Structure 1
Amino acid sequence: MQLLHLTEDENGVSHFGDAGIALAMGDFAPPAPPLLLSEAEVARALVYLTLPAGWDGAKHRSPRRQVAFCLSGRLRVEAGDGEVREIGPGGIWRMEDVAGSGHTTAVLGDEEVRLAIVQLE
């Protein structure tokens, strides 16, 4: 499984990378048959967000390490190094740019964006 990974370097500049999530066969809900699953990560909170059409956020850091799951709509995200990525329905975006200059986010098109965000420890 793939995700978009936003990190920052020692100078506080954010950068995108594509990362894989390792999956292995395991029991998730016995007696259901085994399936591919990742290792568990401790989570702090689950937040649902709706960004209205036309929303354009100022440059900001991620408030904490978190993973966003795009449920609907499309986002444009610009890392501190200037690289731009688009995230749409089904996209997974891990944000770990919590100390540097951050990134900008804007809603694309005329549809609101709905996200589920899992905030990590």
Structure 2
Amino acid sequence: MRISFFLAVVCILGFTRIAHADSPLPRPTMWYWHNWTDHEGVSHMTRCPVRNFDLKTMSKPAGPQWQDRLREGQSQVIFTVQPAHWDGSWHPDPKVQWIIPLKGSWYVTAMDGKKVVMGPGEVSLGEDQMSRRDTQGHIGHFAGNVGDDPVELFVIQTDEIPTVGQPCRFK
């Protein structure tokens, strides 16, 4: 059998793996941060895998690429620029939303005290709507920018119903 070309498989956020077209390709794993709420109303940040990928085309004749379709539904796409030294204060996410920094770095601190700094290409799922105000007045998460520059974010707000006690619910 003659191999006349290589198949380049490109996934979201720059994950690239090159292999012979006739060799089996291992399924990739990608990662996201999940800001979720436990049954006591406390928010947490957990690093979660995405690994249920299928190799298929999105639109023929384009070649196949790894896809993990988490859920279909309505969404709103928002580009946002947080000014330098932006202060997010303590607040819950307005909707279940995916947040991807495009330029600059930002952080999210959950009610349990875990702080995660994310830069370009990292993914966060904000789902702390069911958090409850604690004795210090904290609810949801505290967010802000890292450094002295504005931060550009890509936000996809979904029509998902917020869950409780389900870290890493999208796999």
Q: Structure 2-normalised TM-score? A: 0.68
The correspondence for 2:93, drawn from 62, 66, 70, is 62
Larger Rg: 2
Give the conservation status (yes or no) of the 8 Å contact 1:26–1:36: yes
Partner in structure 1 of residue 141 of structure 2: 103
Indicate the residue corresponding to 1:120 in structure 2: 158
Equivalent residue for 1:27, pick from 41, 50, 57: 57
Which stretch shows the higher mean deviation, 64-73 or 40-49?
A: 40-49
Moved over 6 A (4+): none
TM-score (norm 1): 0.94
Which residue is 1:16 aligned to? Answer: 45
Structure 1 stretches lacking a partner, 5+ long: none
Aligned residues: 121
Higher strand share: 1
How many Å separate the matches in 1 of 2:85 and 2:140?
20
CA offset digits 1:2-53 (Å, max 9, x no partner): 1111100011111111111222212212111111011153242111111011
Select 1:89's aligned residue among 120, 137, 153.
Answer: 120
Percent identity over paired residues: 30
Match of 1:5 in 2: 34
CA distance in 1, matches of 2:143, 2:119: 13
By relative contact order (CA 8 Å, sep 6+), the higher-ranking structure is: 1
Contact 1:3 1:18 (C-alpha < 8 Å) held by counterparts: yes
